[in-house]
Structure 1
């Protein structure tokens, strides 16, 4: 048996969108279960996201600290952002986020992993990239506002982040998944065996 997620779609008898926000919406589907019953399922419709685990030559990860209102915490995170345009190339979006949030560029890009953040209640798909060969970006720094105006930036050794994740001190989904995936990749076939930056992403198809 191959352990692999597979696409499948059960019959939907009716659908409604009771809320439409600026970036996301809430949808209610009436879904036919295997026993024939019809059950309502509410979930958030999300455009998708990208995140960047940027690793420097000193084996430190570029992280930022940002206020997240829904959980009432300031969280340490890796640079991330929404796919603003349907069909947007995720690599281009990741390069944009690294520039805007950290004023950094990278020469080597790989796909670290792809995840559904909360598949029981949201269809958000995130592609997490590994970025290496970092350098300061040219030109003016991107103007920040709202939560990002209070953002802190740092570079933290990988082993310190691992301790924070396993110790229950770090909680951001992309940081946790990204850091542990980095460690797993190193222990396996190595970072150069990771998928190329333009690898297909069925959850959010794009043009290279």
Structure 2
């Protein structure tokens, strides 16, 4: 469905203020502490624009204008009934409706024959090394968070790690096939680059 606010930062803001009223700086702090910045690919430069849009569409409202000492006045927002319904409906859609968004790696694989197989092998080795390093760091971070944060706030991080580990295992298997020369049509692929011919053999 078409949403009045489509930026995922809007979803993160609604989830934050559903807990308690907050000013935008506190929203950003809570969202960062829970790792939503990574999960949703958030762009912080649009935070105040998103908050303004949520307010304009009636999903949040001003609770108070607060001042702490000599600091500038801050507007504290709370979620409205419409905002809570929008949050719940948005979450239902994200969980229940699968959307295929081809990742960059998939796009690259779809045209990888443009490169020589030996170059592809080298690139896959680079990719695998990075994945293994990043996955190890992510596993360690997840374990650290588990000691402080309830699992209900970490499930998306577990899902992301599972996807990345599956990516690494696929890459490892593909690399092994290519490096051992067991990949079907590898000779034809090499000859095509060596001779500038047609992969179909014509």
- TM-score by length of structure 1 reads 0.22
More strand, by proportion: 1
- TM-score by length of structure 2 reads 0.23
Higher relative contact order by CA 8 Å / sep ≥ 6: 1 or 2? 1
More helix, by proportion: 2
